[in-house]
Amino acid sequence: MTEKLTPSDPARIGGHRLLARLGAGGMGVVYLGRAESGELAAVKVILPEYADQAEFRARFRREVAAARRVDSPWAVPVTGADPDAAAPWLATAFVPGPSLAEAVAACGPLPSRAVRVLGRMLARALTAVHDVGLVHRDVKPGNVLLAVDGPRLIDFGIARATEETALTSAGMIVGTPGFLAPEQARAQPASPASDVFSLGCLLSYAATGRLPFGTGAVDALLYRTVHDEPDLDGVPDDTRTLLQRCLAKDPAARPTARQVDEALVDDTRHGTVDWLPDTVVRLIADRSSAMLALPDIEATALGGRAGGHPTEVPTDASPPTSRRRFLLLGGGAALFAAGGGAALRAARRDDDTVPTASSGARRWVLGVQADLTGPQKAIGQAQERGVRLAVEQFNSSKGKPFTLALKTVDDRGDASRAAQVARALAADRDLLAVIGSTGDETTGASLGSYDAHLVPQITVSSAQSEYGTAEPGRFLQAVPGYTSLPGTAAYSLHTQGARRVSVLIDRDGGIPAWQLGRTMFQYLGAFRIAGEPRVVPRLAETLAPVVAEMVAHRMDGFVYTGTPAGGAAVARALAQTGFDGLRVIGYPAAGPEFLTAAGSAADGWQVFAPYIDPSAAPVRVFATAYRKRYGAAPPYWAAEAYDVARMVITRLTEAGGRPTGSRLYDLLRNGAYKGLVRTYAFDKDYRWWLKSSDAFRYEVKDGRYSYAGKVGL
């Protein structure tokens, strides 16, 4: 929990306005701060008595370097640091959830499946630590923060490179008794195997609520760690054997972190957020709400009204370029989405070495991967047709420098098939780029294959903030993300006069529902709108009582993120209460099913979507060409795919010859392409994210979605 700042605390550190204290230790203070971009951060500041010590400053400098080298969605990233400042500081992304230690103490041991999910994600975080030659050396429940979309490993304060000499004195035990490996208990050097031992202790604690080597005096605890067998009574059978291996006395007998990841088989669906018990989810929600009750911030100009007059909004509303990092319970990564092709990049594509002069002998192939026959086939087919139209128009143009072939694969909306067809398509040595996939799960599953072959991949509709455990090297999102659109939607609600808005997050909607709902709540506060978040109870048989309870709080707005069926149930329940305030449904739930199931109760609901109405003026020329080609009006998402295809074709034409995958990716990422729907420019700092956060507002009238125009900050 946070504490108020004391009179002796600074107001700012390294460009961060300090808002509260998160904690204090023997060597420094950790503050909750807000960067100039609007992002929240945990800012660790070293006390003066230590900053003046050359040895300690060297250790802190090493801490900063170590933390910067770790790249994993399950390890909290460094957002800024200055180890040479008068008061050295380190800022990391802020995760408002409780630690694993707090969760177990408050809610009891985690169920078997949650322990497996926890183990896999932390094993992946440690793999990232070990892959850059580091050892964490203090893996414990207090250094694991829980978010609904997965855990986050924090505090690399005593991590060190395995080849470096430790700055601690000889014979000093570094780490936390009860989670130390036997070699650490003997004050011997730690290794990656030591972290695996600590992970085994941590998972045993998560499963049973007890330390595997007991409690008591430190000396006795260290003795039992070195000489006794762990107490694993109560550990589920499906993980006990693995934990016994992790807790082997001999470091050589333990599995690696990567092997722990591979051994923890689970039944989790890709993209699910449903891995924690209700009691822990409530704890996370309560902790997040409490920590986001921040002091008022002075207003500043962010943008302009249509008439050119500046609009005064709080600095809490981050600018569009960094909105996706605002705050998402630690970043909102998709559980178990495939990816991590970085290790395969040695298998480079031939076209990375083909000179321009030989390009005439090669085909120019643009790929499309989409769900053409599965649950999202309407979107996938619309996108495939949009891309095909752009390619046909280019090929029919006079003076074209090359002829472009289109190669399409259907992943059917299935992750396993998505990985399979991606491998096959990526193996085509003539493939220049691929547009797709349609959904989040299939996009995550295909990333590794395209990345391994250095093929740029651009998704039109997948909007997650992160995928899997490795950052893809040739990936771009040509769509505002789930953590970007809510800022624009909250601003629109502000302009419509909202003052108190309830947000209902339905976990059946998966990662999109959580990311949209959570960041909507955050941005409501940024616009001085009182927000009240709720998560649908897992065992709720009907949503009517939840809705009635929320309406009793006298709000003037209601936001639902989840599924079409859940949205319809909420719409009917709200209608029965007579509520006639502002109503918003997250766009993944706003399909035709919502209209059908909600009936007249759907009227008045608003949708803030990343796709334009195909009949809108900016895309009218495209709509005419689409109708001529396919004999029907274009559906949603077709214009966006057409735009992206034309962007790729434009960059290919500008390359001055057949480009390598790296060259084409650089042209796509570093340029700005003005399409019919929006300008496609990508964030310089956050790799694959689109800068634009513009949304298109719809309102249900007479049982159909009526286009209300573009909304932006």
Catalytic residues: 138
Give the tokens for residue 146: 């829980």
| Distance from C-alpha of 379 to C-alpha of 351, rounded to nearest angstrom | 32
Kindly list the distances between the CA atom of residue 607 and the CA atoms of 346, 524, 596, 613, 701, in Å, as whole numbers in the listed order. Answer: 45, 16, 16, 12, 12
Kindly list the distances between the CA atom of residue 481 and the CA atoms of 280, 375, 516, 692, in Å, as whole numbers in the listed order. Answer: 26, 21, 9, 9
Give the tokens for residue 372: 């053409």
Radius of gyration of the chain (CA): 26
Give the tokens for residue 22: 């998160």
- Interhelix angle 278-291/100-107, nearest 10 degrees: 120
Give the tokens for residue 237: 């059978």
SS3 content of the chain, % helix, strand, coil (to 5): 40, 20, 40
Show the beta-strand stretches assigned E in 500-644: 500-505, 530-535, 557-561, 582-585, 605-609
Kindly list the distances between the CA atom of residue 57 and the CA atoms of 42, 49, 405, 493, 551, in Å, as whole numbers in the listed order. Answer: 20, 11, 58, 48, 54
Of 141, 67, 136, 140, give the one whose Cα is nearest residue 98.
141
Q: How many CA atoms lie within 13 A of 617 on its CB side?
A: 3
Sign (positive/negative) of CA torsion 133, 138, 140, 142? negative
Show the beta-strand stretches assigned E in 236-298: none
3-state secondary structure of 545: helix
| Distance from C-alpha of 679 to C-alpha of 411, rounded to nearest angstrom | 29
| Distance from C-alpha of 285 to C-alpha of 376, rounded to nearest angstrom | 31
Q: Which positions ≥6 away from 223 have C-beta within 8 Å? A: none
Of 121, 101, 129, 115, give the one whose Cα is nearest residue 190.
129
Kindly list the distances between the CA atom of residue 593 and the CA atoms of 262, 371, 482, 502, 602, in Å, as whole numbers in the listed order. Answer: 39, 19, 21, 23, 11
* CA 618, chain centre distance (Å): 31
* CA 143, chain centre distance (Å): 20
Q: Which positions ≥6 away from 533 have C-beta within 8 Å? A: 285, 288, 289, 502, 503, 505, 517, 518, 521
Give the tokens for residue 665: 């990716």
Kindly list the distances between the CA atom of residue 395 and the CA atoms of 167, 352, 531, 639, in Å, as whole numbers in the listed order. Answer: 64, 25, 52, 19
| Distance from C-alpha of 542 to C-alpha of 547, rounded to nearest angstrom | 10
* CA 534, chain centre distance (Å): 21
Kindly list the distances between the CA atom of residue 418 and the CA atoms of 369, 382, 407, 425, 436, in Å, as whole numbers in the listed order. Answer: 8, 18, 15, 10, 10
Question: In this structure, what is the dihedral angle of CA atoms 382, 387, 391, 397, given to the nearest 10 degrees?
Answer: 80
Q: Which positions ≥6 away from 174 have C-beta within 8 Å? A: 137, 138, 158, 166, 168, 184, 190
User: CA geometry: angle at 430 spanning 427 and 435, to 5°?
Assistant: 75
